[in-house]
Amino acid sequence: MSPRDEETVAEGDPVLVRLRGLTKHFDVSPPLLTRLIEGRSRQVLKAVDGLDLDIARGRTTALVGESGCGKSTVARLLVTLYRPTAGDLVFEGTDIGRLTDRRALASARRRMQMIFQDPFASLNPRWRVGRIIAEPLRAHGLLDDPAAIRRRVAELLEHVGLRAADAERFPHEFSGGQRQRISIARGLASSPHFLVCDEPTSALDVSVQAQILNLLRDLQRDLGLTYLIITHDLAVVRFIADTIGVMYLGRLCEVAPADTLFARPRHPYTRLLMETVPDLRHPDRDRRPMAGEVPSPLDPPSGCAFHTRCPLANDRCRRERPALRQDGPGQVACHAAEEGRLSPEGGDAVKGMRP
């Protein structure tokens, strides 16, 4: 056990967030009249379809996968912007997916915050930075004395590498990276335990991305924060994540410690994703596009959702949905892995999938 493990276990439950069978379906049916005239039935989009995941306290868990696999929907479920269709969403011991008590929900919301991708869109351009950062303090009724609010805002600005005097300026006076720092300061205002970061760096230049990721790491160390990072960018994940969950069409196909996942990816889809990782030092070099189309979540394939793109798929894969099973230090949902049909390095498994 590493010293960091001992620390988290000593605090009690090492798991801050526990997801069991977490599901979000959207009713995307055409209006009733259209359905009657055109003889169409109801349509349900399975954005998230039975997710089991533990998010370790004080650590960084990342969810990766191609666009449309359900990452942002998970983020929105976690911060209670959406209600689950089914399943458990337990945060600090409370199933917040089922909470109806307003005060309990407000208390949970204070302890978790979301950082969005686009700091332009998420900051009110007409408000001074001080007011933007102070807003959660007022909304949650944490501070009302103007001098105390000013002190807290100054402290938060300094925490994220800005100056106390920046409170007087407007968002447009800052660069993209600085604006993301302002978003993070606002996210920290209510002293949350859990930050959900949805593509926190994808709107930024590569050089600035590393600064923001370093800031997130420093804040985690200083404040004991737990992160869920949502991204399609494996380079970001490699830089910051302790644990990685790989999503495909609303389900997790692999969950593993970051080192294990990069050294020995197991699921054929993870192996294919790895082929597309840009080198952090040479981000423009050798980035292959992903082969094949992701099937529609309106009509997901039977059995393993990945079987339509997987060169190792057999009849069982087409018929039977694989469960997420323990596999070394991680978990993988793959019949080929369970049956020992994967090559150790993954070369054979991905050859047929390369464009």
Task: Give the strands of the sheet with 15-27, arranged side by side.
Answer: 44-56, 15-27, 86-91, 94-95
Q: What angle do CA 246, 250, 255 make, to 5 degrees?
A: 25
Contact between 160 and 178 under an 8 Å Cβ cutoff? The reply is no
- Tell me the DSSP string of 124-145: -TTS-HHHHHHHHHHHTTS---
- Tell me the DSSP string of 155-203: HHHHHTT--GGGGGS-GGGS-HHHHHHHHHHHHHTT--SEEEEESTTTT
Using CB under 6 A, which of the segments 52-60, 65-73, 152-160, 306-314 binds ligand ATP?
Answer: 65-73
- Least distance (Å) between residue 293 CB and ligand ATP: 13
DSSP at 117: S
Closest among 113, 122, 118 to 195, alpha carbons compared? 113
Q: What angle do CA 305, 311, 317 make, to 5 degrees?
A: 40
Using CB under 6 A, which of the segments 5-13, 68-76, 139-147, 234-242 binds ligand ATP?
Answer: 68-76
Measured CA to CA in angstroms, residue 275 lies from 148, 174, 224, 231 at distances of: 51, 36, 33, 16
Q: Confirm or reject binding of residue 300 to ligand ATP (CB under 6 A).
A: no
Q: Confirm or reject binding of residue 41 to ligand ATP (CB under 6 A).
A: no
Q: Exactly one of 45, 56, 62, 215 binds ligand ATP (CB under 6 A); which one? A: 45
Query: How many of the other CB atoms lie within 10 Å of CB of 250?
Result: 25
- Least distance (Å) between residue 247 CB and ligand ATP: 7
Q: Exactly one of 200, 268, 297, 303 binds ligand ATP (CB under 6 A); which one? A: 297
Residue 26 or residue 120: which is nearer to ligand ATP going by CB? 26
Query: How many of the other CB atoms lie within 10 Å of CB of 224?
Result: 13
Q: Confirm or reject binding of residue 18 to ligand ATP (CB under 6 A).
A: no
Q: Confirm or reject binding of residue 68 to ligand ATP (CB under 6 A).
A: yes
Break the chain down into helix, strand, coil percent, rounded to 5. Answer: 40, 20, 40
Q: Exactly one of 2, 67, 207, 326 binds ligand ATP (CB under 6 A); which one? A: 67
Decide the pairing of beta strands 94-95 and 86-91: antiparallel
- Least distance (Å) between residue 24 CB and ligand ATP: 8
Using CB under 6 A, which of the segments 69-77, 88-96, 251-259, 263-271 binds ligand ATP?
Answer: 69-77
Q: Confirm or reject binding of residue 73 to ligand ATP (CB under 6 A).
A: yes
Q: Confirm or reject binding of residue 251 to ligand ATP (CB under 6 A).
A: no
Residue 70 or residue 171: which is nearer to ligand ATP going by CB? 70
Q: Exactly one of 179, 186, 232, 267 binds ligand ATP (CB under 6 A); which one? A: 232
Residue 84 or residue 346: which is nearer to ligand ATP going by CB? 84
- Least distance (Å) between residue 25 CB and ligand ATP: 9
Residue 71 or residue 271: which is nearer to ligand ATP going by CB? 71
- Least distance (Å) between residue 232 CB and ligand ATP: 5
Q: Exactly one of 23, 72, 201, 220 binds ligand ATP (CB under 6 A); which one? A: 72
The pair of three-digit structure tokens given for residue 32, joined into one six-digit string: 């009733």
Using CB under 6 A, which of the segments 15-23, 70-78, 185-193, 321-329 binds ligand ATP?
Answer: 70-78
For ligand ATP, the binding residues (CB under 6 A) are 26, 28, 45, 47, 65, 67-73, 232, 297
